[in-house]
Structure 1
Amino acid sequence: DEVHRFNKSQQDAFLPHIEDGTFIFVGATTENPSFELNSALLSRTRVYVLKNLEAADIRRLLDSALESEQGFAGQLRVDEGGLATMAEASGGDARRALNILEVAADLAEPDDDGVNRVTAQTLEQVLQTSLRRFDKG
């Protein structure tokens, strides 16, 4: 992750190990690898460009998180408008969508059935605050 943070000397140090198969080099970066990796390392890599997910993909992810036993297992309710708002606010980023859902769940209030419900007010509050809960800075 964040392979762009390696300086040129560090990148050069990887080359013999990549060439002889000692290392299988897998890196990720938010930067353009053509500008951040030296040409020797770049020539030995295959670059995959990841694109933002579509809103429908984000909706499926959120639905799965709400229903899955590894997620909220049906113990959190979000109406269609709320799901659409989360999908739009995520900007196609699955991690951001799940972070929005997690923070909303933390703030959700129980409804008459005792199941926590994410309201429009909850989402408004979530989207006005920073979602960088576990990042430095």
Structure 2
Amino acid sequence: MTAAATATRVISWFEIPALDFDRAVRFYEAALDTPLSREVFGGVPIAVFAKEEEATGGCIVHQPGQMRPAAAGEGVLVYLNAEPSVSATLERIARAGGKQDGSVIELPNDIGYIGYFVDTEGNRVGLHSKNLR
């Protein structure tokens, strides 16, 4: 491995698939209390999460013909920023139509807390925050 091959971050982009695009966008906007930017990329509707210039980016992508509803625990797991806290975000997720999946876990070494939920499209997604409440 050479020094030139070292990445500054592991994830550069993520996509959360959606069967019902509008429902998924409404869910994530309500659950994370932030607007998403709707765009069309290569003829495919996407809704991009806001981010700072150097931060990892991602989106909701409409894939009705390319996917089936996800079974719990299948596929890639991404962790979304759960500010101000994991508990507050899980409360918004429940109001938006998602379901908490398991208990919130305290990480060692003051790393913070993680929790999981299942979104309106059946995707299992992780949350991370330095704060529980």
Report the TM range for the smaller structure's normalisation: under 0.3
Computing the radius of gyration from Cα coordinates, the structure with the larger value is 1
TM-score (norm 1): 0.18
Higher relative contact order structure (alpha carbons within 8 Å, sequence separation ≥ 6): 2
Query: Which is helix-richer, 1 or 2?
Result: 1
TM-score (norm 2): 0.19
Query: Which is strand-richer, 1 or 2?
Result: 2
